[in-house]
Amino acid sequence: MSADYTQKTIPASGQLPNVKADAQRILDVLQAGGLVLMPSEVGYALVAASAEALERSFAAKQRKPAHSQGVVATLAVQRALHVLPPATFEMIRVLHDDLDSSFGIVAPFDKNAKPLQQLSPATLANVTKPDGTMAVFVGGSTLMHELGRLCDAAGVLLLGSSANVTGSGQKFSIETMNPEILEAADLIVDYGLQRYHVYGGRASTILDLAKMKVVRIGSSYELIRDRMLKFWGVELPPDPEFGK
């Protein structure tokens, strides 16, 4: 990181993370139309809450405008967005809350869901797929939980994707970040190396929970796979790399 980005990085040098204050700062930037580079357990993410910030994210990532975008949400918002049986929502709750898992969920969405009404037609097209599904990531970190609480209270729908130039691999620390991403961000939240770096640069695991299928084998997949079989009898394919 050759350029000096300290003026837009929190916590400042010599200070400790302050989850409540940092989450509020993130929300303030998002509500002002800004783009935030922040940590999640599955790597650093670029998050936005406006069409303009989303466009800047796509430009920094060198991603095609038509590429789909994920939603980052609390379980309450995920329930409002997705159309799934009650038993599947309970499965998601147990995996996320009780078993401390971070993962993405693909499922049919409710086109009349209140959180979607704030999106422009172009942004809505970015976060949904032609087959009537959308991807929602539910994260497990303390910062994600606090930011989610604030976003829900403010009625802000959080849009996010991995903080890397397309094709360059998941980033788990600010020191390994592409310069284009650092330059594009209005706020950089540096909480150091992220938990799932041990998976060799993998992004999050994504499951299609309407069809009980794997969309992407990612970080902590072997834990999710074991729990799905143990508690719900759902057998997912083994990880071709780790064999579990």
Instruction: Give residue 3's pLDDT.
Output: 76
The per-residue pLDDT for range 157-176, each reduced to its tens digit, is: 999 999 999 888 899 999 99
Mean pLDDT on 195-210: 94
E strands along the chain, which residues? 9-10, 36-40, 43-48, 70-72, 103-108, 133-138, 158-162, 187-189, 206-208, 213-216
Mean pLDDT on 124-143: 93
Give me 221's structure tokens: 């997949």
Instruction: Give residue 2's pLDDT.
Output: 52
- Dihedral sign for Cα 123, 125, 128, 129, please: negative
Instruction: Give residue 168's pLDDT.
Output: 86
CA distance 192 to 210: 35
Does the pLDDT value for residue 153 go beyond 90? yes
Banded model confidence at residue 66, pLDDT cuts 50, 70, 90: low
User: Between these two residues, 223 and 4, which has the higher pLDDT value?
Assistant: 223
Domains of the chain: 6-232 (3.90.870.10)
For residues 47 and 72, the answer to whether their CB atoms sit within 8 Å is yes
Percentage of residues in the chain having pLDDT higher than 90: 88
The per-residue pLDDT for range 19-34, each reduced to its tens digit, is: 999 999 999 999 999 9
Percentage of residues in the chain having pLDDT higher than 70: 97
Does the pLDDT value for residue 43 go beyond 70? yes
CA distance 190 to 10: 6
Residue 40's closest CA among 151, 176, 154, 171? Answer: 171
Looking at every residue in the chain, the average pLDDT score rounds to 94
Banded model confidence at residue 65, pLDDT cuts 50, 70, 90: low
